[in-house]
Structures are given as structure tokens and as C-alpha cells.
């Protein structure tokens, strides 16, 4: 079970967020400012942090900056009443992975949490070997035997996602949300186009096959 730390100084909202996440089978821990959150992090294993920006003692920007020193890949979701572009830019510069504007839609929060956790799982896997094909997530490289194959980042992420979960069917929406982001304006044709390019590049290799599931999405047969 994943444990999520909710750092929000509004006690009512903190409780509501915790209740919704527990309903979705997450374990939750509450903190009410950045300093309290760091104390929790020293004592508990946390898989993801949701933090407000405007908090007493230590705000969300400072908390995120501090967390990134010790937790390089842990997902962080910022929640704030601020919606100006400069605030968004500052949040991403200090290390947040995603952003939500108040008032919070609880269903959207759960969707974003699940997407961030899936993405973090991919990062933690780092390297993937399928037959004679080696994918290195950190370097964004693909090696087939002694041959190096260059893939654009989105093609790499898409291939890595499918090969990390052999025989699992992913809908186009799932792939779009995770790799392009929930706020992307790209459509289904973007996924289809990238899949076609991947197939062409690996058409002479038999270690895996990307299969179309008509009307649904794609899966990898390995």
C-alpha cells in the first residue's frame, strides 16, 4: 500500500483529501506546514507528497526544494490557490512534478496521484532487458546487441511503458495522461503516430511486438 503525505494547513481540506485517498486504498499521513512535513519524512516511509504552497513556518516552495536534496525521484504534487504562470514556473523550477489549482477536484487529485506513482515506478526500474534489447531510462538509450538506436524521448517513454508491463493493455487515454500529461492538447492520433514510428524502427527484431487492441489501445507481447 502506498503512503501519501498531505501537507496542507487548512485542517478541513487536509481531512477531506486524506479521506478521499483512504477511500482509494492509500495510506495517508497529515502535516500542517513544511517543517512538520520534514519531521514526518525522517520517521516514515513516504511514497508521494501533496503539498500546499502558502503555509506557515515553511511554505511549499521551500519544502519542495528541501525534499529534492534527499528524495530525487519521489513524486511531489503541489496544490495552491495561486494560478499565475510565474507561480507555476517557480513550482516546477524547485522540483514539483505536477500542479493543481484550488478548489480541488478530488477525483482529479486521485487521477494525478495514480499517474505520478506509475511514472515513479518506471523511473525506479531504470533498466529493462527484453531479449537482445536493453533500455536505459536514465540515459534514454536503446541498445540492441552492439547497436545503439536513437529514439526521441516520447517514443522512448512509450516503448518503456509498454515493455515494462508485457501483455497488459493500455488505453490511449492512459498513455496520453502518463507520457504527455493530463493537460496536453495532443490527441489519439499522436499515440498512433508514435506507435507506427516505433514499429518501423523495430520491424527487424523479434524480441517483442506492439499489438493494437482495436477500439481500446495497445499492449506489448514479449
Q: Candidates 3.30.497.10, 1.20.1250.20, 3.30.70.20, 1.10.10.10; correct CATH number of 126-221?
A: 1.10.10.10
Distance CA 145, CA 134 (A): 8
**Model confidence, pTM:** 0.61
Q: Which residues contact 35 (CB under 8 A, 6 or more apart)?
A: 57, 58
Phi-psi region of 22 (alpha: psi -120 to 50; beta: other; left: phi over 0): alpha
Confidence (pLDDT) at 153: 92
Q: If the chain, 222 residues long, is cut into consecutive pieces of 10 residues, what is the mean pLDDT of each piece? A: 93 97 96 96 92 94 94 90 81 92 94 88 72 85 88 92 88 87 76 94 90 93 88
Distance CA 36, CA 160 (A): 37
- Angle between helix axes 106-125 and 11-23 (nearest 10 degrees) is 60
What are the residue ranges spanned by the domains of the chain?
3-122, 126-221
Q: How is residue 75 written as a grid cell?
A: 513524486
Distance CA 198, CA 159 (A): 8
Confidence (pLDDT) at 188: 77
The verdict on domain 3-122 having CATH code 3.40.50.2300 is yes
Amino acid at each position: 500500500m502506498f503512503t501519501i503525505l498531505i501537507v496542507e494547513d487548512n485542517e478541513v481540506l487536509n481531512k477531506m483529501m486524506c479521506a478521499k485517498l483512504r477511500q482509494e486504498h492509500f495510506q495517508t499521513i497529515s502535516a500542517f506546514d513544511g517543517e512538520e512535513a520534514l519531521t514526518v519524512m525522517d520517521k516514515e516511509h513516504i511514497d508521494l507528497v501533496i503539498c500546499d504552497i502558502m503555509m506557515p513556518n515553511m511554505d511549499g516552495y521551500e519544502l519542495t526544494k528541501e525534499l529534492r536534496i534527499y528524495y530525487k525521484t519521489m513524486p511531489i504534487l503541489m496544490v495552491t490557490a495561486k494560478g499565475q504562470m510565474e507561480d507555476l514556473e517557480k513550482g516546477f523550477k524547485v522540483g514539483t512534478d505536477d500542479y493543481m489549482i484550488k478548489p480541488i477536484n478530488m477525483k482529479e487529485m486521485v487521477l494525478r496521484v495514480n499517474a505520478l506513482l506509475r511514472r515513479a515506478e518506471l523511473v525506479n526500474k531504470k533498466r529493462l532487458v527484453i531479449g537482445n534489447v536493453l533500455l536505459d531510462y536514465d540515459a534514454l538509450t536503446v541498445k540492441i546487441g552492439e547497436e545503439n538506436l536513437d529514439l526521441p524521448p516520447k517514443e522512448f517513454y512509450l516503448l518503456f511503458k509498454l515493455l515494462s508491463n508485457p501483455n497488459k493493455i493500455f488505453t490511449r487515454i492512459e498513455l496520453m495522461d502518463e507520457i504527455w500529461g493530463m493537460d496536453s492538447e495532443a490527441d489519439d492520433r499522436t499515440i498512433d503516430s508514435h506507435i507506427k514510428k516505433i514499429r518501423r524502427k523495430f520491424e527487424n527484431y523479434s524480441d517483442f511486438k506492439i499489438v493494437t487492441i482495436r477500439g481500446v489501445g495497445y499492449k506489448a507481447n514479449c
